[in-house]
């Protein structure tokens, strides 16, 4: 009976140790997942900002190109006129 009790206590102790180990692993995984979510969110924000900036540059470039074309046309008309 004493040996059975000792065996059960060892098994209980080992089970508690394993439970603590898995609990710690789970918490670590949750922390890592949260860090990855945060990193992904920041990268998405940076990508959105970069895309908007690129769009602004394209619009500015188009306005400048239109201005160049308009100036060129006026210059040609002035030379012809």
Average pLDDT over residues 23-32: 99
- How does residue 81 score in pLDDT terms, banded at 50, 70 and 90? confident
Average pLDDT over residues 50-76: 98
Where in the chain are the domains?
1-80
pLDDT at 18 over 80: yes
Quick one: CA torsion of 52, 56, 58, 60, rounded to 10 degrees?
180
- How does residue 23 score in pLDDT terms, banded at 50, 70 and 90? very high
DSSP 57-78: HHHHHHHHHHHHHHHHHHHHHH
Please report, rounded to a whole number, the percentage of residues in the chain having pLDDT higher than 90.
Answer: 95
pLDDT at 45 over 80: yes
């Amino acid at each position: 009976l004493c040996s059975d009790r000792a065996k059960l206590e060892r098994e209980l102790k080992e089970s508690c140790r394993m439970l603590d180990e898995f609990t710690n692993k789970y918490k670590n995984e949750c922390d890592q997942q949260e860090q990855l979510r945060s990193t992904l969110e920041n990268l998405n924000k940076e990508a959105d900002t970069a895309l908007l900036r690129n769009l602004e540059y394209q619009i500015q470039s188009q306005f400048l190109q239109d201005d160049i074309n308009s100036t060129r046309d006026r210059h040609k008309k002035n030379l012809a006129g």
